[in-house]
Copies of this chain bind each other. A is one copy, B any other.
Amino acid sequence: MIIRFAGTDYGLREARDAMIKKHVNIGMIGYKFMGKAHSHAYKDVQMFFQPALRPVMKVICGRTRAAVTAAAKQYGWESVETDWRILIQRPDIDIVDISSPGHLHRDQAIAAARAKKHVICEKPLANSLAEARGMLRAVKRAGVAHMVMFNYRRIPAVMLAHEMIRDGELGEIYHYRAFYLQDWIVDKRFPLVWRLEKKFAGSGALGDIGSHIIDLAHFLVGEIDEVCSHLKTFVKQRPLPGRKNKLGRVTVDDAAAFLARFRSGVVGSFEATRFATGRKNYHGFEIYGSKGALIFNFEAMNELHFYSCAEKKERQGFRRILVTEASHPYFNAWWPPGHIIGYEHTFVHAIAEFLNCLAAGRPPSPGFEDGVRCQAVLEAVEQSAHARRWVKVSRV
């Protein structure tokens, strides 16, 4: 596969053969929540999108052979590895998909890039800005394609919002209000899983779900210039899994909130929490501009609420657009209007985009630059929380 990408040629015999067959071989690291979501996307993308390159589910990697073997069988992977370094070196692999916890992203991505593999990486890109920058340098140097899995960009309603803002339908933007509210650890007896430990997860609600709302903000209204934040850990100790009556210290935030100023003058507010009782995956935004407004939340992900000042005053109102028309983003691949889609479809869209970009020699989006950009905000938020004042966001 000789694909000219980001100004660089890269090519291996195997890849060339794949190109002839229009196939690319995927090697995926991780097999739990994200592993399942990504696997499904590879499985379904051909049926609904017929991307220019057809993905082959070649190998899946996990540390525990029995578990990863079961996953491979269930999801439909051809083979398994238990050492990600081996997977990355396999000559039959074109694309490495990193669905592992955050502390492993850096090494895996850099190794993959060095092995001339294209890289898809779960978000947040890394556990620190420095790590993320290193990863970006690696993929650029290697000239491989790269994408960070901010799958929420690929919701049809979010894509529509993006197009509407880009085309000026909202006029000058004034306010961006973002939220990502969950409640899965409200119960104090919920155990100290890896997502609650800084050494594995980097941060808590901030990195896990805050990263999504930061990325959508970048996607929709541009870059954040400065932030003022606070972080909060409501429950400071939790049961250690498998160790009866033993508590361990929670080393990440349960909730993060920050005010933001965008480079464009937009004023923003962001909240990410795992302590919003009753909210399951309440992830969304409100955007107010001089000509209109948009409201979205993921729990009703097929709807975009739009207020337009273009109509006469007596007819204005928030309008629930059911984003399921054939002419809406991605939807003609699916079902007739009103037949809604769900969470995993966002991954199918993202993978279709990646494969089509790869075939066309265009950089997939969002790339590692976007991952770095997000990481810079995450870092500024953490700094602000400690300094208790406004902090500038580092430039990419």
Cα(A182)–Cα(B341), bound, Å: 18
Q: How far is the CA of A211 from the CA of B277 in the complex (A)?
A: 27
A273 proximity list for chain B (CB < 8 A): 174-175, 288
Task: State how many copies of this chain the complex holds.
Answer: 4
Q: Please state if B306 and A275 are interface contacts (CB–CB under 8 Å).
A: no
Q: Are B257 and A267 in contact (CB under 8 A)?
A: yes
Given contacts A317-B320, A336-B184, A340-B343, whether A230 and B255 have CB atoms under 8 Å apart is no
Partner of A47, one of B40, B279, B313, B327: B40
Residues of B within 8 A of A232 (CB): 267
A63 beta carbon closer than 8 Å to chain B: no
Q: Does A309 interact with chain B (Cβ within 8 Å)?
A: yes
Size of A's binding interface in residues, CB under 8 A: 91
Given contacts A281-B336, A316-B321, contact A290 B186 (CB under 8 A): yes
The answer to whether B267 touches A269 (Cβ under 8 A) is no
Distance in angstroms between the alpha carbons of A121 and B206 in the assembled complex = 43
Residues in B with CB closer than 8 Å to A292 are 277-278
- Chain A residues 277-333 with CB under 8 Å of chain B are 277-282, 286, 288-293, 298-302, 304-309, 313-322, 324-325, 327-328
Chain B residue nearest to A318 in the complex (CB): B320
The residue of chain B having its C-beta at the shortest distance from the C-beta of A384 within the complex is B228
Which one of B75, B182, B315 lies within 8 Å of A306 (CB-CB)? Answer: B315
Query: Closest chain B residue to A321 by CB distance?
Result: B317
A259: chain B residues within 8 A (beta carbon): 228-230, 257-259
Q: Which residues of B contact A133 (CB under 8 A)?
A: none
Q: How many Å lie between the Cα of A14 and that of B160 in the bound state? A: 50
For chain A, residues 245 to 274, give those with C-beta under 8 angstroms from any C-beta of chain B. 255, 257-259, 261, 265, 267, 269, 271, 273
Q: Which of A278, A299, A307, A334 has the most CB of B within 10 A?
A: A278
B contact residues around A335 at 8 Å (CB): 33, 37, 342-344
Q: How far is the CB of A241 from chain B (nearest CB, A)?
A: 18
Shortest distance in angstroms between A345's beta carbon and chain B's nearest beta carbon?
A: 7
Could you list some 10 contacts between A and B, CB below 8 A? Answer: A33-B335, A174-B255, A174-B276, A259-B259, A277-B288, A277-B292, A280-B339, A299-B340, A335-B344, A342-B345
Return the 6 tightest CB-CB contacts between A and B, nearest first: A280-B338, A281-B338, A278-B307, A319-B319, A389-B389, A317-B321
Other than A234-B265, A282-B338, A299-B302, give 19 A-B pairs with Cβ distance below 8 A.
A47-B76, A186-B290, A228-B259, A229-B259, A257-B259, A278-B293, A280-B337, A299-B322, A305-B317, A306-B315, A306-B317, A313-B327, A316-B321, A317-B319, A319-B319, A320-B320, A334-B344, A339-B342, A388-B390
